[in-house]
């Protein structure tokens, strides 16, 4: 049920959505190390999606093709069928499979209707590659 990889398209965002993404990135141990241009591209390219209560957003063990930020609603994270944590608005999740090329480490299910911001693996990869290439060319 994850969005398929698409070419990076810029989507206009409200100031409050930009703030939500920025805060989610800054709170994340690894992503906070991205440079400002990369963060700006991520903000531009994230797409909004709505999922109904009960839907499984991520299944443990699957190959991951997107990461997400929870904009509205509540999510339940489980491992081996056991609940481990609830996620609140503003939380970034589904990043581990993308950053570390592993399978999904947990299941994430919508316990209310939710709104999510999504960034595909391929778009994230492109942003990382293009921006680091630009930096090398400047050196």
Point out which residues bind ligand CMP (CB under 6 A). 58, 64, 77, 84-85, 93-97, 104-106, 108
- Shortest gap between Cβ of 103 and ligand CMP (angstroms)? 7
Toward ligand CMP, which CB reaches closer, 86 or 134? 86
φ/ψ (deg, to 5) at 69: -125, 130
Within 13 A of 8's CA, how many CA atoms are on the CB side? 18
Nearer to ligand CMP, 48 or 96 (CB): 96
Of 73 and 94, which has the nearer Cβ to ligand CMP?
94
27 token code pair: 């709170």
Residue 100 Cβ, how far from ligand CMP at the closest point, in Å? 8
Q: Which is nearer to ligand CMP, 38 or 109 (CB)?
A: 109
Residue 6, class by beta-carbon neighbours within 10 Å (0-12 exposed, 13-18 middle, 19+ buried)? exposed
Write down the least CB distance from residue 112 to ligand CMP, Å: 17
Instruction: Decide: helix, strand or coil at residue 89.
Output: coil
Instruction: Name the 3-class secondary structure at 53.
Output: coil
């Amino acid at each position: 049920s994850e969005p398929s990889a698409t070419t990076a398209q810029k989507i206009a965002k409200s100031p409050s959505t930009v703030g939500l993404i920025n805060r989610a990135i800054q709170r994340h141990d690894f992503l906070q190390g991205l440079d400002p241009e990369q963060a700006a591209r991520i903000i531009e390219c994230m797409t909004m999606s709505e999922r109904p209560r009960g839907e499984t957003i991520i299944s443990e063990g699957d190959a991951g093709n997107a990461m997400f930020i929870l904009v509205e609603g509540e999510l339940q994270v489980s491992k081996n069928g056991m609940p481990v944590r609830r996620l609140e608005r503003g939380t970034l999740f589904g990043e581990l499979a993308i950053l570390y090329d592993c399978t999904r480490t947990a299941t994430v299910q919508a316990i209310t209707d939710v709104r999510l911001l999504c960034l595909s693996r391929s778009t994230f990869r492109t942003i990382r590659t293009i921006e680091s290439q630009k930096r090398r060319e400047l050196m």
